[in-house]
Amino acid sequence: MAGGEFDLIRRWFARPAPAGVLGVGDDCALLPPARGALAVSTDLLLEGRHFFADVDPEALGHKALAVNLSDLAAMGAAPTAFVLGLALPAADDAWLEGFSRGLFALADAHGCALVGGDTTRSAGGVAISITVFGELPPEQALKRAGARVGDDIWLSGQLGAADVALRLLRGEPGVAAPAQRDALLAATRDALERPQPRVALGLALRGVAHAAIDISDGLLQDLGHILAASGCGARLRVDELPVAPALADVPPALRRRAALGGGDVYELCFTAPPARRDLVLAAAAGTGVPVARVGVIEAAPGLRAVDDAGAPVSDLPGGFDHFAERP
Ligand code: ADP
Ligand code: MG
């Protein structure tokens, strides 16, 4: 970005680096070597694809980092630092003030320092690319491939609210009676715009869970990634899914679709052997995050969804895939 690039970085993104770190301002950041393995993850957020142009910039700053911290959480890694790539159509101080406030509030809450980045003028909308670094003992990583036959399947938090908020913001009909739409949006919007990455739970599940993933593309799709990587199948009890209470009046078919297929959830789906149920519950209690046991890993490949009576549930929704063919 011409001229103002360095002022912009200094004003909004340069902060004192933690001890032992060379942060914003040189050609590279310098970080001490990770204790254990270095965990690295990156996410790209594009205006019009991942967020609306008029979204509250403070919420966007929060979410841009939250989705990256969620990947560390799903691996059981402790966050250390991140870099920020930013493409902006203009240097809008009000927008930058809100964005950096949301970003740094979450960064500070997780002790994750911004140590560098790149800033450029965009020919189109806003684009945000964050790469986050963390560390963990590699033998305790919560890999997708770790699920074993007989493991319980667990979920943190609640499902469905982000999907419903997105449908409401898009003006989709049939989600709520017209008089209820505003209240339903108010009750679901934070789930979409301010997800809370489950970093503490991910850390507490080290040595307890066999496998984990964060639900960014919908429960069915993301659980499917664990099954594919682990070479097994699963039985999922759909009536025991922890659906957000705000969805009580949403039509049942839509509620189920939101819970099973809705993305942008950033809760953890993880597996652990039944002998460790007490340890899972202790990890949940110790981090203040509710967990629910919703299924079991089986040897036969594929995902079998069953209702309360054990009857198969068909007509399952797909998850989100940017390159999927759409009818
Ligand atoms: P270079 O030209 O060497 O790549 P830049 O001029 O792009 O460096 O950036 C100057 C410094 O500001 C670098 O330390 C870089 O990491 C940092 N920086 C640039 N953009 C951002 C940003 N959005 N957030 C944090 N740091 C940034
Ligand atoms: Mg540069």
Buried b (16+ CB within 10 A) or exposed e, 165-196: bbbbbeeeeebbeeeeeeebbebbbebbbbbb
Q: What is the pLDDT of residue 314?
A: 83
Percent of the chain whose predicted confidence (pLDDT) is above 70:
96
Q: How far away, in angstroms, is 214 Cα from ligand 1 center? A: 30
Give the nearest ligand 1 atom to 25 CA: 14
What's the whole-model pTM score?
0.95
Residues 261-272: tens digit of each pLDDT: 999 999 999 999
Mean pLDDT, rounded, of the chain: 95
Residue appearing with tokens 């993301």:
222
Token pair for 125: 């909308």
CA distance 50 to 67: 11
pLDDT interval class at 325 (50, 70, 90): low
Question: Average of pLDDT values for 266-292?
Answer: 98
Q: Which CATH architecture has domain 5-140?
A: 2-Layer Sandwich (3.30)
The domain made up of 144-306 has a fold known as Phosphoribosyl-aminoimidazole Synthetase; Chain A, domain 2 (3.90.650)
Quick one: which H or E segment has residue 225?
helix 219-230
Residues 172-214: tens digit of each pLDDT: 999 999 999 999 999 999 999 999 999 999 999 999 999 999 9
Q: Which residues contact 285 (CB under 8 A, 6 or more apart)?
A: none
What residue ranges do the domains of the chain occupy? 5-140, 144-306
| DSSP secondary structure letters along 116-135 | EEEEEE-SSS-EEEEEEEEE
Token pair for 291: 């967990």
Query: Identity (one letter) of the amino acid at 85?
Result: G
Among 281-285, 303-307, 313-317, name the one with the lowest average pLDDT.
313-317
Which one of 119, 120, 126 would you pick to mutate in the ligand 1 pocket, going by the greatest count of ligand atoms within 8 A of its CB?
A: 119
Q: How far away, in angstroms, is 212 Cα from ligand 1 center? A: 34
Q: What is the largest CA-CA distance in the chain?
A: 66
Strand order through the sheet with 291-298? 211-214, 268-272, 152-156, 291-298, 233-237, 302-306
Q: How far away, in angstroms, is 30 Cα from ligand 1 center? A: 13
The DSSP symbol for 69 reads H
The DSSP symbol for 317 reads P
